[in-house]
A and B are shown apart, each in its own frame.
Chain A
Amino acid sequence: MLKIIIAVLSFLIMPLDNALGAEKIIYQKDSLYQHIVVLEDPAKRERVYYSNKREGIQGGIYTDAPEKLLFEYAGIAFVSLTFLDREPKDVLFIGLGSGSMPQYFNRYYPEANIDIVELDPEIVDIAKRYFYFKESRNMKIHTADGRVFIKRTPKRYDMIFLDAYQGGDIPFHLTTIEFFKEVKGRLKEGGVIVSNILSQFRNRFFDSMVATYDKAFPHLYIFKGRKSNNFIFIATKSSVMKGKEEIYQRARKIQVSRKMDIDLQGISWTCEYCDEYRTDAKVLTDDFAPVNLYRHMKVYD
């Protein structure tokens, strides 16, 4: 009898064991906001962390090449540089993750001033201890709520990256038209907003995100991840629309002058205009923003 029980139990445990593979937990900690687990997979040479297993990974690096971008979406996000008609001087990141995006930015644009806003002090600690993140004279972390920071800061930015997540959701107050208008108010002329939207294509949340960005900004461009459910939304303050050829040429110029190790030109060619995604979905507001419920509501045409 006991043998049968053991056999059944090991059968149940087996797939779990396989799924975890060679990954091992190297650190975990309960912060004020989440249970953070840092995992390492020596075979794949990846180190990542998550706060909610079901909702996926929040940040990560290659252990043998921490300066490279592990995630496809992070690379796509840098296509935003092609929408800025000048060199970026002041850049803001909302949501630190493992810090690889600002670090990457800093590597190719060492002269730019980078501000990073992160709500959870434990994440800051982990980025520094496990993901080789270093603050410097022109790359500073501010421990604060993203929206409160945006409202209070007197600074104006060339680029603002929005990548704040709580589990799998963007906190609702960072998805509303009021927030986007506040963000727009912190952009310099011709400035660019870059937003990582992790979403199934499509659900009500995705459609509402398109509608809200579309309403808040003159132009919205969308880049779709091929290997992931990430979409990069790029919204510009300028009312001049960018053509595909123009974006491509600009990407080429940046690629040549900065020698980035991502295929900026290839990515730039995948640009889509928001017309292709436009629906009559509801615009999210401070009064109405059921982000997490909308994420689980499918859209039927």
Chain B
Amino acid sequence: MLIKIIVFICGAVVMSFEILGSRVLAPNFGNSVFVWGSLISTFLAGLSAGYYWGGKIADLNPSIRKLGLIIIVPGLLLVAFPLYGTAVSDFVFTKDPGIRLGPLLASIILFFVPSVFLGAVSPYTTKLTICSLHTSGRTIGTLYALSTFGSIVGTLLTSFYLITIAGVKTLIMAQGILLLIVSIPLLFMKLACRQVDSA
């Protein structure tokens, strides 16, 4: 159950972060199609790299503790975001690499690493929860659904509501705190189910 909640939360944070990301970039790079293109492709690149890498490390002695470590990284990055977010965006702006490269570079620096780690959560949790090959399809399906459902909730909640109650930086920081809250207990937990037929 905890794993399901985690998958849901990570899905929600990814999309909420992406929506808020557009607000982080707009003061320097505007609202052009290049900004949205950069932002979306950076998140997708991060996620796909995360899926690949997460799947790979999931085969090397997976443990719920390591899952905790995977989630702590974006948690810390998001909590610290107010310290470096504007600074990085301003720095790229002053270097002026062009109307396309500017927002792309800023997106990559700010959003790529957290989305890699958040992406890695999906295959890693899948590996942890697959107890039998007979039900693996259902397990995978459930986790995919939860992750995407989380993304929907994150998107709607952020764009319809959260933006009116707090500033962008506060919201990003709050999401980092949320990730830390769910990941720290994992460091002290043991795996409930071993891969019985992983061979």
Chain A residues within CB distance 8 Å of chain B: 32-33, 119, 144-148, 151-152, 166, 171-173, 176, 178-179, 285-290, 293-294, 297
Contacts and interface: CB of A to CB of B under 8 A. Distances in A.
B169 A287 contact: yes
A119 B31 contact: yes
A104 to B, nearest CB: 27
B163 A119 contact: no
A147 B26 contact: yes
A297 B160 CA distance: 12
B27 interface: yes
Contacts of A294: 164
A151 B23 CA distance: 17
Contact of B93 (A144, A151, A289): A151
A285 B168 CA distance: 10
Most buried by B among A148, A176, A294: A148
Contacts of B99: 144, 148
Nearest to B169: A287
Interface of B: 23, 26-33, 93, 96, 99, 160, 163-164, 166-170
Contacts of A178: 27
- Grouping DSSP codes into helix (H, G, I), strand (E, B) and loop, the B interface class, with mixed when no group exceeds half, is helix
A17 B167 CA distance: 45
Contact of A166 (B27, B31, B163): B31
A141 B80 CA distance: 41
A176 B167 CA distance: 13
Contacts of A145: 29-32
Contacts, number: 55
B183 to A, nearest CB: 26
A179 B23 CA distance: 13
Contacts of A171: 26, 31
A119 B32 contact: yes
B27 A146 contact: no
Given A287-B167, A294-B164, A179 B27 contact: yes
Contact of A293 (B28, B33, B163): B163
Most buried by B among A152, A285, A293, A294: A293
B160 A151 contact: no
A290 B163 CA distance: 6
B33 A173 contact: no
Nearest to A166: B31
A173 B26 contact: yes
B164 A290 contact: yes
A119 B27 contact: no
A179 B33 CA distance: 20
Nearest to B160: A293
23 contacts: A32-B33, A144-B30, A144-B99, A145-B31, A145-B32, A147-B27, A147-B30, A148-B28, A148-B29, A148-B32, A151-B28, A171-B31, A173-B30, A179-B27, A285-B167, A287-B168, A289-B23, A290-B164, A293-B160, A293-B163, A293-B164, A294-B164, A297-B164
A251 to B, nearest CB: 35
B106 to A, nearest CB: 13
A236 B32 CA distance: 29
Given A151-B28, A288-B168, 5 more contacts: A145-B29, A152-B96, A171-B31, A288-B167, A293-B163
B50 to A, nearest CB: 28
A147 B31 CA distance: 9
Contacts of B23: 172, 286, 289
A151 B89 CA distance: 13
Contacts of A287: 167-170
Contacts of A166: 31
A144 B31 CA distance: 10
Most buried by A among B31, B32, B163, B167: B31
Contacts of B170: 287
